Structure 1
Amino acid sequence: MSAVSRLFDRFLGRGDWAVTVPTLDGPLLPNQELEEAESFADLIDADNLVRTEKGMLATSANRLMRFDAGGKAEVLQEFPGEITALAHARGMTALATDGKGVVIRGGLHDGREATGDEARRLSCVTALTFLDSNTLLVANGSASLPASAWRRDLMQKNASGSVWRLDLKSGRLELIRDGLAWPAGIATTGSNRVYVTEAWRHRVLAIDLASKATVPVLEHLPAYPARIAPAFNAGYWLTFYSVRNQLVEFILREETYRKRMLAEIPEAYWMAPSLGSWRDYREPMQGSQLKQMNVLKPYAVTRSYGLVVHCDQNMKPLSSFHSRADGTVHGTISACEVDDDLLVASRGGSRIVRLAKAASGKRG
């Protein structure tokens, strides 16, 4: 794009300078399905749900947990840092701790750890998935910030994320794609293509592992996409940090104000997306976020939201589950199927909810 075109876009408020936000419509039409879902378990900082042969794994800050079908939990292990990503396949569990890289527990490569240069490159792991028994795909959100600083990465307008292929036999680390604006989720397709969410550009990409060609398959999303989990019917469950907000879009384009906010205001009170809201009277709000007659309207503009979208094998949205502005099941950045139920981790709500019969059927 020429400098003249960029100047006109900025003056007219279009293109990259537009502050409009797509509406939640069609398959994304708001409902109360997440808010009304059955509570499966209370879990502070609930995240990283993964189905295994021995039960469902989940994380709570630095703790790796296992849940049985009734929601009873046991702590499997505690780590020195927050667990930021989790994957399981063929008896192996891969997990990443913030700033420490990746470690394998169980199976063929038990004890394999990232060390040295490899660990430094994988210091902000946001998602993991096994390509095969000897290959792990890794999404690294940022080259300069830890995974816990996702809000700062957005408000700094960074785009230093990357996707890597890790050979578990040799330890060789291969760069697949860099220059990404916070890749937060990754999923295999059964072919040479993988799907990767690019949160700050509000889209899902298809990346060819052989040619490394990149094609957007889902764009202009009204929310910030997070992790991708497989669905029984060859589709996917797409989770989200929160919905987009016109005021945040405006602040991202106002350089002076944005830089002052980052420098002078504590992060908890930034006008930025959040995994939970209404915890402190000092949080920022817009007029529509104020309660009227002691009621917060479900359609109010909000910093936090709960959203999980069911997509087909081509990442076309089919249906969705919501917790709206007046709800509490927010920050839904991880989900997984267990038999014919869908379990969703609400990090903002510190619990796991179960959507009974939401999945297509039992997995083999």
Structure 2
Amino acid sequence: MFARLNRKPPPAMTLEGVLGPNGRLDRADAIAVDAPGALACAEDGRLLVSSGCRVLTLARWGETPAPWAELPAPVTALAVSPGGRVAIGLAGGGLSVRDAAGRSLLGWAPPVDLVSIVDCLFLSEEEIALVDCGYGAGQDVLSRAPWEEAARGRVVALTRDGGATTLRADLHCPMGLCRDAEGGLVVSELERARLLGLDGVVRRAGFPGYLGRVRPMGTGYLLACLARRDPLIEFLKTETAFIAEMKATIDPHYWISPRANPEFSHDFPIELGATRLFGEVKPWAPSFSYGLVIELDAAMMPVASAHSRANGYRHAVTDAIPWNGDLIAVSTGSAELLNLGPEKVGP
């Protein structure tokens, strides 16, 4: 008999109602981009897209993205200030701040102990809030975060002269940061399935996904999810002996965990149930990867959603923002920008 650990109940939201499965992500127009990850809207209205060690720019949908900046490390976060400055987070905790033309600005040296900047937000033209998830570039966040209790993430405010202040520590794998309607800062926690104010107040919890970035949209918000929450994973959180053996004897790539890539392999647990049934993968088949964007109202309550199910491939949505009247999302599973159509909050 496996030992059991008394943990909090799993998230309460289910994939039904406004969160019911659909094919919006798979039906969306797409532009292929090598290693996309983060999005931002520049002061002049162009879309900025991270692509490996580059930042690309797009003036209008359907064009080929053009190079805007080349960085010394993979880009992990993007933000634009009201004045047009662009903050670029880099793998390994680095940061580059540039003007609207892409020229590097002096200063902005981040603390040397930052592990990984996964999101950022200008608090003013002279101050940036940085989200450090606590997992290094060589660590698979999706594999590890569901099984680790350590809350090693934090949000740090950095000024141009290098001054750093920790706004909140002890966060469990924070992934995104935005302002609420009152101007307060709200962070998304990947595994805890909640939006948490830096004042400690939970704004909304129980989401049925592993949360990525959260972005303002009109009177509401867009919430990107790296995968849906799987009932098997939620159940196994009570089986401490099983999980201890898994972590001690198996490479993290093969742990029973959410994944970004929709590939199927006999090496992965339970995936044979999704590989073939009457010659095809069924949308309801077991799958640890999934595509999900949740539209939220002003109270951060879900009002609509877009999905790519087990038989789709536009999984692991890391970012979604409104741009030129449309909703644009990043699928790292398919390496594409997706256009979900006209911006709205609601079905």
Distance 1:321 1:187 in 2: 21
Shift of 1:51: 1.3
Secondary structure of 1:282 counterpart: coil
Give the alignment partner of residue 96 of structure 2, picking from 103, 113, 116.
103
Give the alignment partner of residue 35 of structure 2, picking from 25, 29, 45.
45
1:47-84 per-residue CA deviation (whole Å, 9 max, x = no partner) reads: 10111115111112222111231231122233232211
Does 2:285 match 1:293? no
Does 2:132 match 1:140? yes
TM-aligned CA distance change 1:60 to 1:148, over 3 Å: farther
Shift of 1:214: 1.2
1:103-157 per-residue CA deviation (whole Å, 9 max, x = no partner) reads: 2111699524554xx4323221111111222221111101x63485313243333
1:88-112 per-residue CA deviation (whole Å, 9 max, x = no partner) reads: 1221110111113222111699524
TM-aligned CA distance change 1:288 to 1:182, over 3 Å: same
After superposition, residues 127-276 of structure 1 pair within 5 angstroms as 127-142=119-134, 145-146=136-137, 149-151=140-142, 152-168=144-160, 170-189=161-180, 191-207=182-198, 213-231=199-217, 233-276=218-261
Distance 2:67 2:284 in 1: 38
Shift of 1:23: 1.7
Higher percent of residues as helix: 1
Instruction: Give the structure-1-normalised TM-score.
Output: 0.85
Distance 1:159 1:42 in 2: 35
Shift of 1:340: 1.4
Shift of 1:187: 0.4
Aligned pair count reads 338
Does 2:327 match 1:339? no
| Unmatched runs of 5 consecutive residues or more in structure 1 | 1-9, 208-212
Q: Which residue of 2 aligns with 1:33?
A: 24
Distance 1:155 1:62 in 2: 30
1:258-292 per-residue CA deviation (whole Å, 9 max, x = no partner) reads: 34433433333222111122254422225643421
Native 8 Å contact 2:262 2:289 kept in 1: yes
Q: Which residue of 2 aligns with 1:321?
A: 306
Instruction: Give the share of equivalent positions with the same residue, in percent.
Output: 25
After superposition, residues 108-123 of structure 1 pair within 5 angstroms as 110-115=104-109, 118-123=110-115
Native 8 Å contact 1:237 1:310 kept in 2: yes
Larger displacement relative to structure 2 (42-51 or 287-296): 287-296
Q: Which residue of 2 aligns with 1:305?
A: 290
| Unmatched runs of 5 consecutive residues or more in structure 2 | none
Shift of 1:19: 6.0
Larger displacement relative to structure 2 (313-322 or 279-288): 279-288
Distance 1:281 1:112 in 2: 51
Secondary structure of 2:69 counterpart: strand
Q: Which amino acid aligns with 1:111?
A: L
Native 8 Å contact 1:21 1:246 kept in 2: no
Q: Which amino acid aligns with 1:353?
A: L
